[in-house]
Amino acid sequence: MNAFRAFILKEFRHILRDKRTLLVLFGMPIAQIILFGYAITTEIQNANIAVLDRSRDVRSLELTRTILASGYFTLNADVRSYDQIEEAFRKGRIKMALVIPPDFAAKLQRGEADLQVLTDATDPNMASTLVSYVNAIAARSGAQGKPPGIRIEPQMHYNHNQASVNMFVPGVITIVMLLVSAMLTSIAITREKELGNMEILLVSPLKPLVIILGKVIPYLLLSMVNVSTVITVGHLLFGVPMEGSWLVLAVACLLFVVCALSLGVVISTIARTQQVALMLSLMALMMPTILLSNFIFPISSMPFPLQLISNIIPAKYFIVIIKGVMLKGVGFEVLWKEAAVLAGMTLLFIGISVRKFRIRL
């Protein structure tokens, strides 16, 4: 058996004998996807609202009924003035109030009808979602003058029922891959330094590249197993669509895993202890990735400096790719730019880690 194979075998033994690593490796991805899939959701159903109808004509009643019939809203307060709306907001009885001004029907005839939507913006995400629901409903019934009782169907492309799981599964896959690949490899390499094993590995004919690859390849394989699990769970349990090619998805995942692994190696060349490696992975990778990758918070609504910073987050590009493949069914003919950026970053990280790998203490 040659040195390289012996190294990989040894690495697998480390991983398989460490219960905590195993738990992080295989338990966390499943836990995360189930948590994100079930518990954290941006869909809104039966939001409590109030309607202050100051017009009380055919058109205003029609609009009210249309909105309430959408299923997104429940009328929860009988209000007759702005003061009562204010009170309902304070008591937390409603999340949104709709104010229909006087002479609604007449104004609608002239094409200048307006509608006031008040929301409780202490929960901004929910507020903006509610506003967009009302907008969609009002736009249809107002512009086209449809009779009351019509079914409202806001058309959301690619994520027809706006299932948040379709947004989160790609995000979770990204986070999990980054976590497993970058964090666990950086910790695994720094563990050798911290426990003094690196001291004897350095005083041996092993080349730096062999040490790095020997550390990385087991995690590469395990990460790919992980990705398959998460995608399968997302696909079967939550019905995340798979519109594109599995092969394209696999190649994209492989590319991102290699990118994350090389980031992990870069971290391990900086960190001297496992603690530092862990903190660096969490602070320097996890936080920016969650915040700046379009996973939870839309980049387009961020201040310009943050938008600039988001360009150096590898996960941002991977999320574009994975959503493109899974939800839109496109391939590299569309996504080549993102793939090229990821490949470029990977080469950069590998370059840095080979240069920075210390052949002495």
Partner 1 sequence: MIRFDQVVKRYGNTTAVDRATFTVERGELFGLIGPDGAGKSSMMRMLVTLLLPDDGTITLDGHDVVADYRFVRRNVGYMPGTFSLYTDLTVEENLQFFANVFGTTIQENYHLIAEIYEQLAPFKDRRAGALSGGMKQKLALCCALIHRPLALILDEPTTGVDAVSRAEFWSMLRRLTTTGITIVVSTPYLEEAALCDRVGLINDGRLMQIDTIGGIVASYDHALWRIDADNTRTALQVLREHPAARAAYLYRSSVMMSTDQELDPEHLTHELLRSGVTGARVSRAQPDIEDRFMDLMLEHA
Return d(Cα 77, Cα 87) in angstroms, integer: 10
Q: What tokens does 17 get?
A: 């004998």
Is 24 an interacting residue with respect to partner 1 (CB under 8 A)? no
Mark residues 206-225: x for contact with partner 1 by CB under 8 A, - for none: x-------------------
* Type of residue numbered 91: K
Return d(Cα 198, Cα 187) in angstroms, integer: 13
Is 203 an interacting residue with respect to partner 1 (CB under 8 A)? yes
Instruction: Candidates 111, 149, 196, 303: give the one binding partner 1 (CB under 8 A).
Output: 196
What are residue 231's phi and psi, to 5 degrees? -65, -40
Is 360 an interacting residue with respect to partner 1 (CB under 8 A)? yes
What are residue 234's phi and psi, to 5 degrees? -60, -40
Is 61 an interacting residue with respect to partner 1 (CB under 8 A)? no
- Using alpha carbons, select from 114, 330, 286 the residue that is nearest to residue 183: 286
CB-nearer residue toward partner 1: 135 or 204: 204
Instruction: Candidates 35, 95, 115, 205: give the one binding partner 1 (CB under 8 A).
Output: 205
**Residue found under tokens 């395990």:** 222
Helix (H, G, I), strand (E, B) or coil at 298: coil
Instruction: Candidates 22, 199, 272, 344: give the one binding partner 1 (CB under 8 A).
Output: 199
Query: Strand 116-119 and strand 73-77: pairing?
Result: unpaired
Return d(Cα 269, Cα 31) in angstroms, integer: 31
CB-nearer residue toward partner 1: 60 or 190: 190
Return d(Cα 50, Cα 119) in angstroms, integer: 10
From the CB of 317, what's the least distance to partner 1, in Å?
37
CB-nearer residue toward partner 1: 189 or 260: 189
The site for partner 1, by CB under 8 A, has a size of 25
Instruction: Candidates 17, 20, 91, 151: give the one binding partner 1 (CB under 8 A).
Output: 17
Return d(Cα 60, Cα 40) in angstroms, integer: 35
CB-nearer residue toward partner 1: 188 or 341: 188
What are residue 162's phi and psi, to 5 degrees? 50, 35
Instruction: Candidates 23, 106, 195, 287: give the one binding partner 1 (CB under 8 A).
Output: 195
From the CB of 195, what's the least distance to partner 1, in Å?
7
Helix axes 332-356, 246-270, angle to 10 degrees: 20
Burial 269-306 (b: 16+ CB within 10 A, else e): bebeebebbbebbeeebbebbbbbbbbeeebeebeeee
Q: Which stretch binds partner 1 (CB under 8 A): 191-199, 221-229, 238-246, 349-357?
A: 191-199
CB-nearer residue toward partner 1: 20 or 90: 20
Q: Are 229 and 29 in contact (CB under 8 A)?
A: yes
From the CB of 202, what's the least distance to partner 1, in Å?
6
Is 204 an interacting residue with respect to partner 1 (CB under 8 A)? yes
Q: Which stretch binds partner 1 (CB under 8 A): 55-63, 193-201, 250-258, 324-332?
A: 193-201
Helix (H, G, I), strand (E, B) or coil at 77: strand
CB-nearer residue toward partner 1: 8 or 173: 8
Is 21 an interacting residue with respect to partner 1 (CB under 8 A)? no
CB-nearer residue toward partner 1: 6 or 23: 6
Site of interaction with partner 1 (CB under 8 A): 1-3, 5-7, 10, 13-14, 17-18, 195-197, 199-206, 359-361
